[in-house]
């Protein structure tokens, strides 16, 4: 097991070659496991991680500076989603099995027997994030989705928590070996150059990433410029604006103020769903309440020095804009940072959109006063793609709010009502995505059960004999899964 | 109406600006139509095209040099798929409506009410192909899929059939106006520069293309290098190899010979699913039969001079490879071309893969002799992504063929048994795609009902009041569509 003083070397090109060759070897046997067999593997990984919690959590605390309760909760989320994908595999709809029996009377001319299902894309390269050392890292959502799909996974560890990455990787790898997974199903690699070399390798069939806009963009361009371009699913930057209506202000101003302060400082403001802007009606009178709530939050260490530096720079950038005032200045002292609060108006926001609509990672947020509904719509329209957008309103204002929701739907992957965007639930209906720059692939999600699709591709079989078909597509419904036969959903066998 | 001598000018930048502005304006009203209303629009377009057949088909004959029966069949296919997408809209599964009611006992902690569905991506730019002047052109599959999804469509007309494009565009646009579609739902633009400028415009949210590898690659890179990258669905090159087993040769050698000759010369060899290579057991003794079948096919005009030139060049490239012999030399005389047949062996193919595994558009195919199963597997493994791969075999050979099918599944979007890849049926289970260079987006199809997904993105609503939800996601199942409630499919209302 890893000792606290273990030095972790970068993966060498020779080691990487072995990892890639092994992943390529594993691809077909892993794909050929029945969905229920892969579900058992995922549960085995979840059980092993839960069992290792007392070893993993202290490592995570040490490397990420995040508190124990948060990290235990995050690990629980991580193992929950592995098990949830197990359920998805057993239910079987994810295979999208379609069977079109031959039809001599088909409208465009006789139709041959056609059967379609999704199969794994092949080895996936997952870039771990720093801000969720469990849930978006070695055994995080992307790994769970890719393994569930049947794609071998190579994780490029984040430099922010190398020992945790190594140890988590050992736990996952051992659980997979114990469960009988093909050798090469899973590996962790280390180092920037290794991460770049792996993405260029033809054995890698998809990439996924959670992190910064410049980093994600560079990798996306690498993936797109390969001789054989591959899909690259990057979850990048998001501002997550929150719009408060006059009705909501009147009804629950204090509650909104405290909810806001708690949400933008959660995880020391290092969540991709941090509310970066709060739009309040002019004359809202909440400044003192918010300032007091923000001042009440204890300073806490950021993940690493680079983030601390970015936070200080960002704060400076915001404060330098004419028309922006700093209500709370929580400038970082080393890694330890108190939250900051800045304030402006919609006209200033629109005039300095370049500076003010750029994500600033860390516990800072911008209160923006709007004078009337038109100003609110103009501000909402200024946003590019976001993971979330939130309206705090009253149901009696539905008509007034409708145009705002319309504008926001074009700009966000998730629309919230009277909630806060942090605390992303892992469910069937969750969508964690959005247009650029929220993601590089707006039609996909990185959280929720439909995240599995990113690692699957369709294959059709035409007039194939029963014995040569995958089990999922034979007349007899051997897997007992829902299938669309002639576009009607059924779990029945197909009549020969 | 367009006269035969109409001169079609390139769309000017000012005109393009108007088209883009209008498409952007149309996006939301088009998205807000009920699926059944969009179905009616698609049927209206189909009816109008059918009614205009006697005007459109002669224009298509003149510009494409393809025969009347083929073009009437293609138009029937085109209107069939518009109507089929209408069915898909009315059935409603395509919306992927998921409802997760709030759950205080959810495994990772209390879950808020989450509801997810697919919404249109926004204006799509469709690059028409030359080889299917109806089915992959102005009113072709991409247009049908995008309109069905609710995305306005701008078609970049192919220079090979400008007058047909203009006239088809008029018919489509008029039918949409007559059906009450928002102004800006559909437009056709002309000219290379216009096609490039449109793809760079931020109002365009997706691109789709059917054509050559270099053309598609250039546009894919343009789409990926935008400040805000967008999905680009290019269907590019494919070799569509056919592998004949010893058993199939013995049982049906003559039939295979004639089927092959007919398939690779269909549409004067200008199909993306043309079988470019036929693998036969050494000593097959079919040369004469195939040669005779090929010689029996009448010369016919290619689509245009550029294709004729490419065909001649390709033929020369193949013939120049040492170890390749020309069995039938159908070199083009102007546009008019007789089919050609060349022949080699697996060792030569593998040694000269660069020259021999490059698509040659037009009526030419390569017979490749293999000495044993290992050679066949080595040859199959040499292929990159393809739209199709075919095995001609006997069911008694299932065990021997299984490894070949395994290799091919990794390399093709559609696997055929004892058929020919040309003649792509439009059905629910059809997949017309594959890894690079078959497409730029291997997890999507350009034919079949699931092609609609390319123009849709998910949105989740969290804790949203009923009145603010889209109809598809309200407790009451207003559209009567199948929805997954707590991941169980139902058409019932959700109990409050």
pLDDT at B397 over 70: yes
Cβ of residue A392 closer than 8 Å to a chain B Cβ: no
B262 in the same domain as B173? no
In a domain, A462, yes or no: no
In a domain, A430, yes or no: no
In a domain, A214, yes or no: yes
Q: What is the pLDDT of residues B126-157, one digit of tens each?
A: 999 999 999 999 999 999 999 999 999 999 99
What is the token pair recorded at A491? 């779990």
Cβ neighbors of B426 (< 8 A, separation 6 or more) are A108, B77, B80, B81, B84, B141, B447, B448
Q: What is the pLDDT of residues B266-324, one digit of tens each?
A: 999 999 999 999 999 999 999 999 999 999 999 999 999 999 999 999 999 999 999 99
Count of all residues that appear for chain A in the document: 496
Residue B199 contacts residue B231 (beta carbons within 8 Å): no
B331 in the same domain as B276? yes
> By C-alpha distance, which of A76, A12, A11 is closest to A50?
A76
Q: A72-101 burial by CB neighbour count: b if 16+ within 10 A, else e?
A: bebbbbbbbbbbbbbebbbbbbbbbbbbbb
Q: Mutation test of the interface with chain A: which of B70, B460, B481, B490, choosing the one with the most A Cβ atoms within 10 A?
A: B460
pLDDT at A401 over 80: yes
* Nearest-Cα residue of chain A relative to residue B398: A468
Residue A479 contacts residue A471 (beta carbons within 8 Å): yes
The predicted pLDDT at position A2 comes to 46
Query: In sequence order, what are the beta bridge partners of B392?
Result: B244
pLDDT band at A495 (very low <50, low <70, confident <90, very high): confident
Give me the helices (H) in B101-245, please: 141-149, 162-178, 192-200, 213-224
B407 in the same domain as B265? yes
Cβ of residue B192 closer than 8 Å to a chain A Cβ: no
In a domain, A489, yes or no: no
Strands B325-328 and B340-345: antiparallel
B230 in the same domain as B89? yes
Q: B62-90 burial by CB neighbour count: b if 16+ within 10 A, else e?
A: ebbbbeeebbbbbbbbbbbbbbbbbebbb
Asked if B108 lies within 8 A of A425 by C-beta distance, the reply is yes
Asked if B419 lies within 8 A of A463 by C-beta distance, the reply is yes
In a domain, A479, yes or no: no
* Structural domains counted in chain B: 2
> By C-alpha distance, which of A397, A403, A396 is closest to A378?
A403
pLDDT at B331 over 70: yes
B366 in the same domain as B446? no
Q: What is the pLDDT of residues A52-107, one digit of tens each?
A: 999 999 999 999 999 999 999 999 999 999 999 999 999 999 999 999 999 999 99
Worst-scoring range by mean pLDDT, A107-121, A324-338, A428-442, B19-33? A324-338
pLDDT at B394 over 90: yes
Residue A420 contacts residue A390 (beta carbons within 8 Å): yes
> By C-alpha distance, which of B117, B68, B111, B58 is closest to B93?
B117
Query: Considering only CB atoms, which chain A residues are within 8 Å of B91?
Result: 487
| Catalytic member of B63, B74, B235, B375 | B235
What is the token pair recorded at B433? 């795609």
Asked if A428 lies within 8 A of B484 by C-beta distance, the reply is yes
Average pLDDT of chain A is 96
Query: Considering only CB atoms, which chain B residues are within 8 Å of A474?
Result: none
Average pLDDT of chain B is 96
Residue A382 contacts residue A404 (beta carbons within 8 Å): no
CATH code where residue A94 lies = 3.40.605.10
How much of chain A, in percent, has pLDDT values that exceed 90?
96
* Nearest-Cα residue of chain B relative to residue A486: B428
Residue A103 contacts residue A114 (beta carbons within 8 Å): no
A149 in the same domain as A254? no
B276 in the same domain as B203? no
In terms of residue numbers, what domain contains A28? 13-236+442-456
Residue B458 contacts residue A450 (beta carbons within 8 Å): yes
Q: Which value, to the nearest 10 degrees, does the dihedral of the CA atoms of residues B184, B189, B193, B195 take? A: 70
Q: What is the pLDDT of residues A108-152, one digit of tens each?
A: 999 999 999 999 999 999 999 999 999 999 999 999 999 999 999
R_g of chain A, CA atoms, integer Å: 24
The predicted pLDDT at position A7 comes to 76
Asked if B459 lies within 8 A of A402 by C-beta distance, the reply is no
Q: Return d(Cα B41, Cα B29) in angstroms, integer.
A: 14
- Tell me phi and psi for residue B387, to 5 degrees: -70, -40
Strands B124-127 and B488-490: unpaired
Catalytic residue list contains A194: no
Alpha carbon of A93: minimum distance to chain B alpha carbons (Å): 10
Q: What is the pLDDT of residues B76-95, one digit of tens each?
A: 999 999 999 999 999 999 99
Give me the helices (H) in B33-156, please: 35-51, 53-64, 68-91, 141-149
Asked if A395 lies within 8 A of B453 by C-beta distance, the reply is no
Instruction: State the average pLDDT over residues A19-46.
Output: 98
The predicted pLDDT at position B332 comes to 79
Q: Count of CB atoms within 10 A of residue A322's CB?
A: 8
Query: Considering only CB atoms, which chain A residues are within 8 Å of B140?
Result: none
Cβ of residue A410 closer than 8 Å to a chain B Cβ: yes
Question: What would the DSSP string read from start to end of B240-267?
Answer: --EEE-HHHHHHHHHHHHHHHHHHHHGG
Alpha carbon of B464: minimum distance to chain A alpha carbons (Å): 5
pLDDT at B488 over 50: yes
Cβ of residue B274 closer than 8 Å to a chain A Cβ: no
pLDDT at B372 over 90: no
Cβ neighbors of A14 (< 8 A, separation 6 or more) are none
* Nearest-Cα residue of chain A relative to residue B24: A410
Catalytic residue list contains A272: yes
Place of tokens 């600006």: B17
- Tell me phi and psi for residue A147, to 5 degrees: -65, -40
Walk across the sheet containing B153-156 and list its strands: B186-189, B153-156, B124-127, B206-210, B232-235
Place of tokens 């209303």: B37
A-B contacts (CB, under 8 Å): 252
A83 in the same domain as A216? yes
In a domain, B472, yes or no: no
DSSP SS3 for A455? helix
CATH code where residue B393 lies = 3.40.309.10
In a domain, B210, yes or no: yes
A262 in the same domain as A199? no
pLDDT band at B496 (very low <50, low <70, confident <90, very high): low
Strands (E) in A83-215, as ranges, are 98-100, 114-120, 124-127, 153-156, 186-189, 206-210
Burial class of A277 by CB neighbour count within 10 A (0 to 12, 13 to 18, 19+): buried
pLDDT band at A1 (very low <50, low <70, confident <90, very high): very low
Task: Enumerate residues 132 to 191 of chain B having a beta carbon within 8 A of any beta carbon in chain A.
Answer: none
B168 in the same domain as B35? yes
Q: Count of CB atoms within 10 A of residue B471's CB?
A: 15
Q: Count of CB atoms within 10 A of residue A329's CB?
A: 13
The predicted pLDDT at position A6 comes to 65
- Overall pTM > 0.90: yes
B166 in the same domain as B60? yes
Sign of CA dihedral B177, B182, B183, B188: negative
In a domain, B178, yes or no: yes
The predicted pLDDT at position B1 comes to 43
DSSP SS3 for B191? coil
A174 in the same domain as A54? yes
Question: What would the DSSP string read from start to end of A28-70?
Answer: HHHHHS-HHHHHHHHHHHHHHHHHTHHHHHHHHHHHH---HHH
Q: Return d(Cα B293, Cα B276) in angstroms, integer.
A: 16
pLDDT at A420 over 80: yes
Residue A470 contacts residue A477 (beta carbons within 8 Å): no
Q: What is the pLDDT of residues B25-78, one digit of tens each?
A: 999 999 999 999 999 999 999 999 999 999 999 999 999 999 999 999 999 999
What is the token pair recorded at B307? 């294709």
Q: Return d(Cα A288, Cα A293) in angstroms, integer.
A: 8
């Amino acid at each position: 097991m890893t000792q606290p003083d273990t030095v972790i070397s970068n993966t060498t090109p020779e080691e990487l070659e072995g990892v890639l060759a092994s992943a390529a070897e594993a691809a077909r046997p892993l794909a050929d496991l029945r969905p229920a067999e892969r579900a058992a593997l995922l549960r085995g990984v979840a059980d092993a991680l839960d069992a290792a919690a007392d070893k993993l959590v202290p490592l995570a605390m040490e490397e990420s500076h995040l508190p124990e309760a948060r990290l235990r909760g995050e690990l629980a989320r991580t193992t929950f989603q592995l098990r949830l994908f197990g359920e998805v595999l057993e239910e079987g709809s994810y295979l999208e099995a379609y069977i079109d029996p031959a039809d001599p009377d088909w409208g465009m001319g006789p139709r041959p027997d056609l059967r379609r299902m999704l199969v794994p894309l092949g080895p996936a390269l997952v870039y771990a994030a720093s801000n969720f050392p469990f849930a978006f890292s070695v055994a995080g959502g992307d790994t769970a989705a890719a393994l569930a799909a049947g794609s071998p996974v190579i994780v490029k560890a984040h430099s922010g928590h190398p020992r945790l990455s190594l140890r988590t990787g050992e736990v996952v790898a051992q659980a997979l070996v114990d469960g009988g997974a093909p050798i090469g199903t899973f590996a962790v690699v280390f180092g920037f150059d290794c991460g770049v070399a792996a993405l260029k390798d033809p054995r890698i069939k998809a990439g996924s990433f959670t992190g910064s806009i410049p980093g994600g963009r560079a990798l996306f361009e690498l993936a797109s410029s390969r001789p054989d371009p591959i899909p690259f699913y990057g979850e990048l930057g998001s501002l997550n604006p929150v719009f408060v209506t006059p009705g909501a202000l009147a009804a629950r101003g204090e509650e909104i103020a405290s909810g806001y302060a708690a949400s933008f400082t959660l995880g020391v403001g290092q969540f991709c769903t941090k509310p970066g802007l709060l739009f309040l009606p002019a004359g809202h009178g909440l400044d003192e309440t918010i300032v007091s709530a923000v001042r009440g939050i204890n300073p806490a260490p950021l993940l690493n020095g680079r983030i601390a530096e970015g936070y200080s720079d960002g704060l400076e950038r915001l404060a330098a804009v004419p028309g922006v005032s700093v209500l709370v200045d929580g400038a970082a002292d080393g890694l330890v940072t108190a939250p900051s609060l800045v304030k402006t108006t919609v006209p200033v926001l629109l005039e300095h959109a370049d500076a003010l609509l750029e994500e600033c990672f860390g516990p800072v947020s911008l209160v923006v006063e709007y004078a009337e509904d038109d100003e609110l719509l103009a501000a909402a329209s200024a946003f590019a793609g976001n993971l979330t957008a939130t309206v705090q309103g009253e149901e009696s204002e539905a008509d007034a709010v409708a145009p705002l929701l319309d504008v926001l739907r074009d700009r966000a992957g998730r629309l919230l009502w009277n909630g806060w965007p942090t605390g992303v639930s892992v469910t069937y209906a969750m969508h964690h995505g959005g247009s650029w720059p929220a993601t590089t692939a707006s039609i996909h999600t990185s959280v929720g059960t439909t995240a599995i699709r990113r690692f699957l591709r369709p294959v059709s079989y035409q007039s194939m004999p029963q014995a040569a078909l995958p089990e999922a597509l034979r007349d007899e419904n051997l897997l007992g899964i829902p299938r669309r036969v002639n576009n009607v959903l059924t779990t029945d066998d197909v009549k020969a």
